[in-house]
Amino acid sequence: MDEKEAPDATDRPSSVPGAASLTPVSYLVLGLVARHGTATPYDLKSFAAQSVGNFWSFPHAQLYKEPPRLAEAGLLAEEREEFGRRRRIFRITDAGRAALAEWLASGETALGELRAPGLLKLAFAELGRPADAVTLARGQAAAHRAQLASYEAFAALPADAMPWSLRRALELGLGYERLQVDFWEALVGDLAAGRIPPSPSAGPAPPGS
């Protein structure tokens, strides 16, 4: 029953020639270049860190490898600085803009998972001591409070510091962190008050059952 018979609407950009497979990184690069006009790989690294990098980090090596790949597919144009470091400068092409537009227009909507390490640990907390669960909850609450503060600082930037769409995305991030903080703090409270029965009936199912 674990099979998902997803219709899988083959979301590959059909109108774009030679575009084999575009990953999230591809669209990140495409989007960043489109937004800024031009960018070197290093710029991409910085741009990403300042924007989506907050909730989705990419190894910087990816941001160096992806632009040439996209250039080869015709989605980016590449030029070089004349002097100095002779860095690669990328600019989006019409084909690139089309691929980006198609991605934005497609009703693809994969939905991702809640892969929080703390959540995995919590799921098995019954196997440890109750005190460990408290430690975990406190730690998670603190970590998420810190992350929340960082988002809030970012959100405090003036209105024209980021496009409306990014700001809106940031708001989901804010909500997410608040949810996490509330959740873990409530858990700390419940555990401290003994409101959660760590040994309610008989503990975990005995192996011999």
Partner DNA sequence: GTTCAGACCATCCGAAACAGACGGTCTGCT
Partner DNA sequence: AGCAGACCGTCTGTTTCGGATGGTCTGAAC
> Which stretches of the chain bind DNA, using CB under 7 A?
7, 21, 23, 25, 40-42, 57-62, 64-65, 84-88
Nearest-angstrom CA–CA distance, 96 and 19: 10
Q: CA–CA distance from 22 to each of 15, 94, 96, 102, 144 (Å)?
A: 13, 16, 11, 12, 32
CB 59 to DNA: min, Å: 4
Which is nearest to 90 in space by CA: 81, 101, 100? Answer: 81
Phi, psi of 37 (to 5 degrees): 90, -65
3-state secondary structure (DSSP) of residue 63: helix
* Residue with Cβ nearer DNA (115 or 193): 115
CB 127 to its own copies: min, Å: 5
* Residue with Cβ nearer its own copies (20 or 114): 114
Asked whether position 6 contacts its own copies by CB under 8 A, the answer is: no
* Residue with Cβ nearer DNA (11 or 185): 11
Picked from DNA, its own copies, none, the partner binding residue 157 (CB below 5 to 8 A depending on kind) is none
Picked from its own copies, DNA, none, the partner binding residue 113 (CB below 5 to 8 A depending on kind) is its own copies
CB 82 to its own copies: min, Å: 18
Q: CA–CA distance from 184 to each of 23, 40, 165, 191 (Å)?
A: 34, 41, 29, 10
Long-range contacts of residues 126-132, Cβ cutoff 8 Å, at least 24 apart = 126/198, 126/204, 127/204, 130/191, 130/198
Nearest-angstrom CA–CA distance, 119 and 121: 5
Picked from its own copies, DNA, none, the partner binding residue 7 (CB below 5 to 8 A depending on kind) is DNA
Q: Are 16 and 98 in contact (CB under 8 A)?
A: yes
Residues 43-62 that bind its own copies (CB under 8 A): 45-46, 49, 51-53, 55-57
CB 30 to DNA: min, Å: 14
Taking each helix axis as running N to C, give the angle between helix 60-72 and helix 24-36, from 0 to 180 degrees, rounded to the nearest 10. Answer: 80
Residues facing residue 81 across a β-bridge:
none
Q: Which of 6, 20, 193, 205 is close enough to bind its own copies by CB under 8 A?
A: 205
Residues 85-144 that bind its own copies (CB under 8 A): 100-101, 103-105, 107-129, 132-133, 135-136, 139-140, 142-144
Picked from DNA, its own copies, none, the partner binding residue 140 (CB below 5 to 8 A depending on kind) is its own copies
